[in-house]
Amino acid sequence: MRAVIEPFRIKVVEPIHRTTRPERERLLRQARYNVFRLRSEDVLIDLLTDSGTGAMSDQQWARMIQGDESYAGARSYYRFLEVVNALTGMPHIFPVHQGRAAEHILCTILGGPGKVIPSNTHFDTTRANIEYTGATALDLPIAEALSPETLHPFKGNMDVKRLEELIHRTGAERIPACFLTLTNNTLGGQPVSMSNVQEVKATLDPYGIPLIIDASRIAENAYFIKLREPEYADRSPWEIAREIFAIADGCYMSAKKDGLVNIGGFLAVRDASLARRIEQLLILWEGFPTYGGLAGRDLEAIAQGLQEAFQEDYLHYRIHTIAWFAEQLRQRGVPIIEPPGGHAVFVNAARFAPHIPAEHFPGQAIVCALYVHAGVRAVEVGSLMLGKRDSNGRHIAPPLELVRLAVPRRVYTQSHLEYVADALADLFAQRQHLRGLQLLSASPFLRHFTAELEPLEPSLLLSGDTVL
């Protein structure tokens, strides 16, 4: 049997709202051409993020009713602790309200002016939390990761040679930790191999630099290892993840991804003195260490969700869904990052709209046109999210201009994704009408969330006569 099916049936449904094209033109104009500023009710299919947008299972909802909301020592905390400890093997585990809270605490302790924190690629909130302390966030992906069509089974890998060079050049004392993001979200949701995790650790060990895993999508990454690293073919994704954590000195997770919950996360470390410092900041910013900014019911949902996220049937369906979606786009001629990753399909905006220069945000032009045309919300991962300015105010573009179509977990069906593929194919056929945008206002950190933009010139794909 070739068909891969959803390993669940649907018990509760939520209607989605249709809008007309003139309404969407108006709504996007009001949102200053930034889809983060839209109301979700005005979006038909929302592929903005896979973070916190998944559907919980009946088991998770059942466990939530059992949430113990005691301030200290809640039963729900101990359930959470048991599962996170079984998965990570870390002795010191702290709940946090989401991934960036873990980053905030960790980077406050590790960062500071003069420090350098390398990664395969930092996610934008990680980078911002590092830079906010005055430290430098450095991305060291393998060369293949920057070549959109180059096939490589583990495009999320870190370039170990460059890591070694960095340590020699910078001096280990200025590198308080090395991060590895599994999967590598920013460069396409690409997995990191077990052998790469081992090589990174072997490179760091002689210098005593700790390895911290960003485990937000660890289940998807573990499943790719099972599929693509032959010696792991017979191991379960849970066992593979355990092995990754066993190599690391610490980890954090936004459980809004592979924890299958709408809010939550954790931070975990081996070192007792680091744990004490984390605990102090946790109490200051998040809450008492047995709830860390979460309700007891959220801890219950994470404990259950983590176990469901590692079920092979689920991961098989999850990874297959993304691959199927990618194939739909490929068949329609839409240029994508190859091979597709674990949580999203990434459109190569630089090839889709080569006539728009990076400083006029080709990815954002596609995102805006996709919303106006079809009511679909995607997110730009390119010059708007990751671009910088040099001291002369000139735009420094990131290596890739992408549009991410992130697929929420257990939410949309095949026909929803087929609709999105058709919509992108329509735009691709009209791509010469895409026009760039300019920034009207932007904040110094994480500017894409709140930036205001306007089209540089009238665009048929954003307003006026319907060409599609």
Tokens of 357: 């220069």
Stretches 30-38, 94-102, 108-116, 296-304: which one binds ligand F0G (CB under 6 A)? Answer: 94-102
CB of 267 to ligand F0G, least distance (A): 11
Site string for ligand F0G, 118-157 (x = CB under 6 A): -----x-xx-------------------------------
The residues facing 46 across adjacent strands are 377
CB of 99 to ligand F0G, least distance (A): 2
Candidates 185, 193, 348, 459; binder of ligand F0G (CB under 6 A) is: 185
Candidates 98, 193, 203, 290; binder of ligand F0G (CB under 6 A) is: 98
Question: Is residue 221 close enough to count as binding ligand F0G by CB under 6 A?
Answer: no
Candidates 25, 42, 159, 214; binder of ligand F0G (CB under 6 A) is: 214
CB of 25 to ligand F0G, least distance (A): 26
Question: Is residue 193 close enough to count as binding ligand F0G by CB under 6 A?
Answer: no
CB of 2 to ligand F0G, least distance (A): 31
CA angle 64, 65, 70 (to 5 degrees): 85
Smallest CA-to-CA distance from 439 within 366, 364, 377 is with 364
Question: Is residue 223 close enough to count as binding ligand F0G by CB under 6 A?
Answer: no
| Residue among 265 and 296 whose Cβ is closer to ligand F0G | 265
Whole-angstrom Cα distance, residue 188 to residue 106? 25
Whole-angstrom Cα distance, residue 325 to residue 319? 10
| Residue among 51 and 190 whose Cβ is closer to ligand F0G | 51
* Residue list 43-72, contact with ligand F0G (CB under 6 A): 49, 51
Query: Is the preceding peptide bond at 458 cis, omega within 30 degrees of 0?
Result: no
57 Cβ contact partners less than 8 Å away, ≥ 6 residues apart = 8, 260, 304, 305, 308, 410
Smallest CA-to-CA distance from 403 within 337, 328, 306, 308 is with 337
Alpha helices per DSSP H over 31-176: 58-65, 75-88, 99-110, 124-132, 160-170
- In the bound state, the residue with its beta carbon closest to ligand F0G is 99
Candidates 34, 129, 196, 216; binder of ligand F0G (CB under 6 A) is: 216
Tokens of 205: 């060990």
| Residue among 361 and 428 whose Cβ is closer to ligand F0G | 361
Cα–Cα separations (whole angstroms), residue 15 to 18, 32, 41, 49, 226: 10, 27, 10, 19, 37
275 Cβ contact partners less than 8 Å away, ≥ 6 residues apart = 91, 92, 94, 269
CB of 286 to ligand F0G, least distance (A): 12
**How many residues contact ligand F0G, by CB under 6 A?**
15
CB of 34 to ligand F0G, least distance (A): 15
* Residue list 319-348, contact with ligand F0G (CB under 6 A): none
Question: Is residue 266 close enough to count as binding ligand F0G by CB under 6 A?
Answer: no
CB of 102 to ligand F0G, least distance (A): 8
Candidates 256, 360, 410, 447; binder of ligand F0G (CB under 6 A) is: 256
Stretches 93-101, 109-117, 144-152, 334-342: which one binds ligand F0G (CB under 6 A)? Answer: 93-101
CA angle 418, 344, 369 (to 5 degrees): 60
Q: Backbone dihedral region of 464: left (phi > 0), alpha (psi from -120 to 50 degrees) or beta? A: left
**What is the edge-to-edge ordering of all strands in the sheet holding 344-348?**
344-348, 402-406, 379-381
Smallest CA-to-CA distance from 302 within 241, 238, 255 is with 255
Question: Is residue 181 close enough to count as binding ligand F0G by CB under 6 A?
Answer: yes
| Residue among 184 and 459 whose Cβ is closer to ligand F0G | 184
Question: Is residue 100 close enough to count as binding ligand F0G by CB under 6 A?
Answer: yes
CB of 357 to ligand F0G, least distance (A): 26
CB of 277 to ligand F0G, least distance (A): 21
CB atoms within 10 A of CB 330: 15
Smallest CA-to-CA distance from 54 within 317, 214, 256 is with 256
The total number of residues shown for the chain amounts to 468
Tokens of 291: 């709830």
| Residue among 185 and 321 whose Cβ is closer to ligand F0G | 185
Question: Is residue 265 close enough to count as binding ligand F0G by CB under 6 A?
Answer: yes
| Residue among 60 and 98 whose Cβ is closer to ligand F0G | 98
| Residue 91 parent element (H or E) | none
Residues binding ligand F0G (CB under 6 A)? 49, 51, 98-100, 123, 125-126, 181, 185, 214, 216, 254, 256, 265
